[in-house]
Amino acid sequence: MTRYLLKRLTFSLITLFAVITVVFFLLRIAPGGPFDGERQLPPEIEANLKAAYNLDEPLYRQFALYLGRLVTGDLGPSFRQKDFDVNELVSRGLPVSTALGISALLLAVLAGMAVGTLAGLHPGKPLDVWLMSLSNLNLAIPTIVAGPVLILIFAVFLRWVPAGGSGTFTHFVLPVIALALPYVAAVARLIRGGIVSAGSEPHVTTARAKGLSPGRIVGFHMLPTASIPLISFLGPAAAGLLTGSVVVEQIFDLPGIGRYFVQGALARDYTLVMGVVVVYSTAILLFNFLADVAYGLVDPRIRAL
Amino acid sequence: MNPQLPHLKSSTILPIAAGTLCLVILLAVIGPAFSEWGAEDMDWNAMETPPSLQHWFGTDVVGRDLFVRTMHGARVSLTVALIAISVAVLIGVPWGLVAGYMGGRTDQLMMRIVDGLYALPVVLIVILLVVLFGRNQYLLFAALGALFWLDLARIVRGQTLQVRQSAFIEAARGLGASIPYILAKHVLPNILGPTLVYVTLAIPGIILAESFISFLGLGIQEPDTSWGVLVADGVQTLETSPWLILFPGIFLAVTVWSCNTLGDRLRDRLDRRHQV
């Protein structure tokens, strides 16, 4: 197990390093500098600015400087927002984005398990057909459409929750649902398949023969088996949720990292965009690593490695 | 019982999905011809009006016909998908073929790269590219394709691993055929079916990614339009004129649903054949 985890960890770190390298050099070879504003700056001032940001150094020096700061957790100053460094922007947005992402993931897993179990226990029956058709439809509705429609129904017509902004718990209800919806469907499909095949497993037949209650059979014998594929889905799901949160934060006007990313992208804020990509990549790689650990814990064959 | 989606008989849903997709494509191609309005024509007498006989899907805030714009958006979104998937196939298929056929260290290294890319916020990296190198639409297509080849590479590799064991490959090798020749003439034709199915399944992902990027204002730019751009416009007037988001949204969802369903069903059929 230790060897397996070490291998996975090394792999994650190499990937992260590769991302940082590629992103850094892409940013530097891109046309147009951060000071190419509407107004031409006097060359002396521009030179001073570049010196202050180390832009006058050779590329490899800049890269080394950036890496050195990154290791200490410093993402550098923002190229566009005065008086802010990227850390401040990221740490300001992080709590909002984390709350949004984790709530959506929880909702997706719990609701998806419920739907998938219900459907999987009645394979081929009308309930199964309807639940799965609904899931398929759900997978097809993109967040950019589902979000506004949710606002229209629950905020504009019913007035149950606010349409946007942040501050209270109610502000998070719609964004979390909008972000989680496609993943509820995806989890439901996975769990449904698992429950259907678990139904014919010998250990489930044994449980039935022992006269266990249906609740115990489903909860203790079928769901655990059916949930194993879920673990490997969590890595890509985390990546998808993080990406999706960019658009959800935009739609619901939540001040998360995604908002800063879009602002930074539109304003060509080099360090900010790069900082967000680095933070997101780290988060996703960390999540994948945790999924690997979980996989090792449930699968004895991997533990033996 | 087949654990893979045995709901709604495949014989009824497959033609529905295929028909819907054809209808969307047909509408995108010939739809604008049926309307008297052009994509950028402004009807000064009908600004932000709900659907009517004159403007089937209503008009936007500057009086442009939403039906025509949705169809133009369809053209752009579908073209982007087509070009991006071509790029994905051009990268993913050879990658998978080589990795699967060569095996060993080459395979290990190539698939590790795929794994690494898989664990990244790739859409955000595409956004980064688009921002860095200007909002060039061709770059957007290429970047999207460069993002969606990962699944294809995995599928093709898996299939190649199976085909590689066959006697006729060994025979070809015995006759002294070169590796590129074997891959192109013997392996590729045998993995074409599954590859096509996964291409169908990758297209909705590309359409969604394009709409996502355009929605944020980082993809297709005015006056050109796509479903993502139209949905983003519709959000601005959500409360006063919801039809502006509903029509493009419905087209987007229906197209993605058809592709997903088509791919799912075709995959089920293939799987069944493999099981026999």
CATH code of the domain containing A177: 1.10.3720.10
Contact B6 A123 (CB under 8 A): yes
Nearest CA in chain A to B130: A265
Residues of B within 8 A of A142 (CB-CB) are: 208, 211-212, 249, 252-253, 256
CATH number of the domain encompassing residue B240: 1.10.3720.10
The answer as to whether A73 is a domain residue is: no
The answer as to whether A16 is a domain residue is: no
pLDDT at A107 > cutoff 90: yes
The answer as to whether A42 is a domain residue is: no
Domain with A232, as residue range(s), is 94-303
3-state helix, strand, coil in chain B (%, to 5): 75, 0, 25
The answer as to whether B34 is a domain residue is: no
Residue that wins the pLDDT comparison between B136 and A278: A278
Nearest CA in chain B to A263: B216
The answer as to whether A17 is a domain residue is: no
Token digits of residue A105: 């993931």
Contact A129 B118 (CB under 8 A): no
B47 torsion bin: left (phi>0), alpha (psi -120 to 50), beta (else):
beta
The answer as to whether A272 is a domain residue is: yes
Contact B128 A277 (CB under 8 A): yes
User: Which residues are paired to B42 by β-bridges?
Assistant: B64
**What is the number of structural domains in chain B?**
1
Token digits of residue A96: 């909002």
**Distance in angstroms between the alpha carbons of the first and the last residue of chain A:** 5
The answer as to whether B46 is a domain residue is: no
Residues of B within 8 A of A199 (CB-CB) are: 1
Whole-complex ipTM: 0.77
The answer as to whether A177 is a domain residue is: yes
Contact B231 A148 (CB under 8 A): yes
The answer as to whether B131 is a domain residue is: yes
Nearest Cα residue to A297 out of A224, A239, A211, A245: A224
Residue A302's pLDDT is 64
pLDDT tens for B217-232 read: 887 877 788 888 888 8
**What is the number of structural domains in chain A?**
1
Is residue A170 within 8 A of residue A155, CB to CB? The reply is no
**Number of residues that this document lists for chain A:** 305
The answer as to whether A282 is a domain residue is: yes
Confidence of residue B1 (pLDDT cuts 50, 70, 90): very low
Q: Nearest 10 degrees: CA dihedral of B251, B253, B258, B263?
A: 140
Contact A149 B245 (CB under 8 A): yes
pLDDT at A196 > cutoff 70: yes
Residues of B within 8 A of A251 (CB-CB) are: 235
The answer as to whether B39 is a domain residue is: no
The answer as to whether A2 is a domain residue is: no
pTM for the whole structure: 0.81
The answer as to whether B3 is a domain residue is: no
Of B120, B129, B212, the CB nearest to A247: B212
The answer as to whether B42 is a domain residue is: no
pLDDT tens for B128-171 read: 777 777 667 777 778 888 778 888 898 888 888 888 888 888 88
